[in-house]
Amino acid sequence: MFIKVLKSKIHRARITGTHLEYEGSISIDQDLIEAAGLLEGEAVLVANLNNGTRQETYVMRGPPGSGMVRLNGASARLGAPGDLVIIMGFAYLAPDELAAHQSRKVVVNEQNRIVGGP
């Protein structure tokens, strides 16, 4: 049996843009992806603090140092620039792995620059 647990999250990031005419996903500043331990193509849950939506999508790499958090494709309908989101990645662990597991939490400021975390 495996248990789904929070692997990492980017906490209170601001959406910097939307791109409706795209195939889908969320584009995130590469520096944030690496700090959170996420992978390009990894499934993530995005919780929008402004409108309450929760969506599952996948990570695409944005330019490093850009602060980019852009909703693409259908996801663009679920948020607007300036909205605060929590981006969460999960892992499936065996019960004997749970005690050693620690989730990563990357906290960002208004410009999506890292101010706390790993």
Residue 24 has pLDDT above 90, yes or no: no
- Could you tell me which residues come within 8 angstroms of residue 76 by beta carbon, excluding any fewer than 6 positions away? 18, 19, 20, 22
In the structure, what pLDDT confidence band is assigned to residue 21 with cuts at 50, 70 and 90?
very high
pTM across the whole model: 0.95
* CATH number for the domain whose boundaries are 3-94: 2.40.40.20
Domain ranges for the chain, please list them.
Answer: 3-94
* Residues with catalytic roles: 25, 58
CB 2 within 8 A of CB 90: no
Give residue 118's pLDDT: 65
Burial class of 70 by CB neighbour count within 10 A (0 to 12, 13 to 18, 19+): buried
Give residue 117's pLDDT: 78
Give residue 79's pLDDT: 97
Handedness of CA 70, 56, 6, 86 (dihedral sign): positive
Q: Quick: pLDDT tens for 59-93.
A: 999 999 999 999 999 999 999 999 999 999 999 99
